[in-house]
Amino acid sequence: MKGQFSPQNPQKYNGNPCNIIYRSSWELKMFMFLDTDPRILKWSSEEIFIPYRSPKDNKIHRYFPDIIYTTVDKKTIMVEIKPFKQTNPPNAPKDTKGKRRYITEVMTYGVNQAKWAAAQEYCADRGWEFKIITENELGIKY
């Protein structure tokens, strides 16, 4: 599910409120919360990038965090929305049939870990918090 989000409170969006793209129903749910919750002062989606070194090719890439928001108590939080399964190391297959999928999952996990380490450092340098939000926090059955 992908689409354009039209905020009810465009003044809260830090960026162009006519160009907010959600890439999943989970992001859409989070955008609706940020847009309407009075405890959120400002928010943005994929408006900045963080350089990170990918373990896949050992090159520098750009990571665009899903969301950054600021609360009324002046806390700034960077959020990545991911399926819970992708936040844990993959399990090795019990047979050879799942080997190719396992290798892909290991690479995805490694890249995500590199992105999140760079995000945590970026946030620490600014006194921000970094969170990974899954379907569990969003109250979604998956």
Residue with tokens 């009075």, as numbered in its chain: 38
Annotated catalytic residue within 35, 66, 80, 105:
66
State the pLDDT at residue 4. Answer: 97
Decide: helix, strand or coil at residue 42.
Answer: strand
Annotated catalytic residue within 12, 80, 82, 105:
82
pLDDT, tens only, 51-76: 999 999 999 999 999 999 999 999 99
pLDDT, tens only, 17-55: 999 999 999 999 999 999 999 999 999 999 999 999 999
What pTM does this model have? 0.92
Residue 4 to residue 19: CA distance in whole angstroms: 7
State the pLDDT at residue 94. Answer: 83
Q: What does the domain layout of the chain look like in residue ranges?
A: 42-138
Known catalytic residue: 82? yes
Residue 16 to residue 58: CA distance in whole angstroms: 33
Q: Which of 109, 113, 128, 108 is nearest to 67 (CA)?
A: 128
pLDDT, tens only, 88-119: 999 988 887 889 999 999 999 999 999 999 99
Contact call for residues 131 and 78 (beta carbons, < 8 A):
yes
